[in-house]
């Protein structure tokens, strides 16, 4: 082969031991097959442009720095994030991770696209790659940027199937309701800081509900707050460069209306959202009603105040906020009540996600909402008897009258 090559081009002869996996090689293009004996492999010539590649800290794992974003969990939030990234003027490469084969059939039936309806206008996107997480991955295929939008109670199980593809150089964004998921993932999958991905978390106020698989309605336009996520007591070492790419992509998605905040403000916002969910979600389940119907009765308002008092005391005792001058005023019972009632008014016609789960026969996320308040309370010596009882009643499917009497300590 004596013809001069274009600048920056190399000719490689590569042995493909598994030819069926050739389409997964994103950085090479087959030119022609050579006439060599076929078994046990096939020989190809490839044209490949030089790319900067680096070796990760996991042996045998490589990354080409493509900027690809993987999305795990394709419920309403996962669809919204994927879609808004995909419709950017210069979208990143996006892979949808499907956790069961049946989702492939649903993806085909949906025309291999995501549709989001906003104020009656349908917007669709189809520029995705799709991957079953159960397939045997290439050993050199790492996940650089991962958006986790699974239900909280499924997160550890879902991530365990792709754990080996996440490295210290990866970034993982947790988008779920509730708190405590990040700690569970770390304890179960990434106990060692030297191999742990960089964590981001977001607080999402958008209201989205499902029409059918890969079809959602963006009913409540709001915002997203994103930032680096730290553990209680963890120092902010400011490794922002590791995660800057994913943060910028999220912030530059107009439909998400996202902004970046520092880790301390992110914690405050997460706790505020936790309290909002802890008041609205389980009570709509107990009383089987929309958000706006909750606090028309004085007895339910009284119950909310009891729940808020416990949550306020727990938050005021958190060591991660002990030197925060805003804690006392921002998380007082009165301030939290004002925030909750304001959200109820704005989302009066909404059906909470927990009530949607209950009506569909799915497990709820209450262990990561009120359960997180109770868990931190036990660590700090703060009793949360009303929240504990509420968790118990939601799990039992208690009827309204009996539940209210039990929570208020009165005979039914």
**What is the 3 state secondary structure string of 369-393?**
CHHHHHHHHHHHCCCCHHHHHHHHH
pLDDT at 299: 86
Instruction: Reduce the DSSP state of residue 313 to 3 states and report it.
Output: helix
Residue carrying structure tokens 């981001």: 200
More confident residue, 217 or 296: 217
CATH of 62-261, one of 3.40.50.720, 3.30.70.1520, 3.40.50.10420, 3.30.465.10: 3.40.50.720
Does position 409 have pLDDT exceeding 80, yes or no?
A: no
pLDDT at 32: 31
Q: Where in the chain is the domain with CATH 1.10.1040.10?
A: 267-408
pLDDT confidence of 224, banded at 50, 70, 90?
very high
More confident residue, 157 or 36: 157
Asked if residue 224 has a cis previous peptide bond (ω within 30° of 0), the answer is no
Distance CA 361, CA 363 (A): 7
Does position 57 have pLDDT exceeding 50, yes or no?
A: no
Q: Global pTM?
A: 0.81
Does position 236 have pLDDT exceeding 90, yes or no?
A: no
**pLDDT one-digit tens code per residue, 65-121:** 789 999 999 999 999 999 999 999 999 999 999 988 899 999 999 999 999 999 999
Give φ, ψ of 202 to 5 degrees: -135, 150
Q: Quick one: average pLDDT of 128-157?
A: 86
pLDDT confidence of 241, banded at 50, 70, 90?
confident
Sign of the dihedral through C-alpha 345, 347, 351, 357 = negative
Does position 136 have pLDDT exceeding 70, yes or no?
A: no
Average pLDDT along the chain: 82
Q: Quick one: average pLDDT of 235-247?
A: 76
What are the angstrom distances between the C-alpha of 283 and each of 198, 286, 360, 400?
A: 35, 5, 17, 10
CATH class of the domain at 267-408: mainly alpha
Q: Where in the chain is the domain with CATH 3.40.50.720?
A: 62-261
């Amino acid at each position: 082969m004596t013809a001069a090559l274009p600048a920056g081009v190399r000719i490689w002869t590569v042995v493909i031991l598994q030819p069926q996996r050739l389409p997964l090689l994103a950085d090479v293009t087959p030119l022609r097959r050579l006439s060599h004996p076929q078994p046990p492999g096939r020989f190809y010539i490839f044209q490949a442009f030089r790319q900067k590649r680096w070796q990760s800290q996991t042996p045998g794992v490589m990354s080409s720095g493509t900027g690809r974003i993987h999305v795990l969990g394709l419920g309403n939030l996962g669809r919204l994030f994927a879609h808004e990234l995909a419709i950017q003027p210069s979208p990143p490469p996006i892979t949808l991770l499907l956790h069961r084969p049946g989702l492939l059939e649903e993806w085909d039936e949906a025309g291999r696209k995501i549709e989001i309806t906003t104020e009656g206008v349908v917007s669709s996107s189809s520029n995705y790659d799709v991957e079953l997480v159960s397939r045997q991955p290439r050993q050199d295929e790492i996940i650089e940027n991962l958006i986790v939008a699974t239900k909280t109670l499924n997160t550890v199980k879902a991530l365990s199937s792709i754990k080996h593809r996440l490295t210290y150089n990866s970034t993982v964004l947790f988008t779920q309701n509730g708190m405590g998921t990040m700690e569970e993932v770390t304890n179960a999958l990434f106990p060692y800081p030297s191999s742990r991905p960089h964590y981001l978390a977001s607080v999402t106020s958008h209201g989205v509900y499902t029409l059918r698989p890969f079809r959602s309605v963006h009913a409540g336009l709001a915002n997203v707050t994103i930032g680096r996520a730290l553990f209680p007591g963890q120092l902010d070492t400011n490794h922002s460069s590791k995660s800057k790419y994913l943060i910028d992509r999220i912030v530059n998605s107009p439909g998400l209306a996202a902004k970046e905040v520092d880790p301390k403000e992110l914690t405050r916002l997460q706790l505020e959202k936790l309290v909002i969910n802890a008041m609205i979600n389980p009570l709509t389940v107990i009383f089987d009603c929309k958000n706006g119907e909750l606090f028309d009765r004085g007895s339910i308002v009284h119950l909310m105040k009891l729940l808020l008092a416990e949550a306020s005391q727990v938050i005021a005792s958190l060591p991660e906020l002990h030197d925060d001058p805003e804690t006392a005023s921002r998380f007082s019972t009165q301030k939290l009540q004002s925030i909750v009632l304001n959200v109820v008014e704005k989302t009066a016609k909404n059906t909470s996600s927990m009530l949607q789960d209950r009506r569909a026969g799915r497990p709820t996320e209450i262990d990561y909402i009120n359960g997180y308040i109770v868990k931190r309370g036990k660590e700090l010596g703060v009793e949360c008897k009303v929240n504990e009882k509420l968790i118990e009643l939601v799990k039992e499917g208690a009827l309204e009258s009996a539940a209210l009497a039990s929570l208020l300590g009165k005979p039914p």
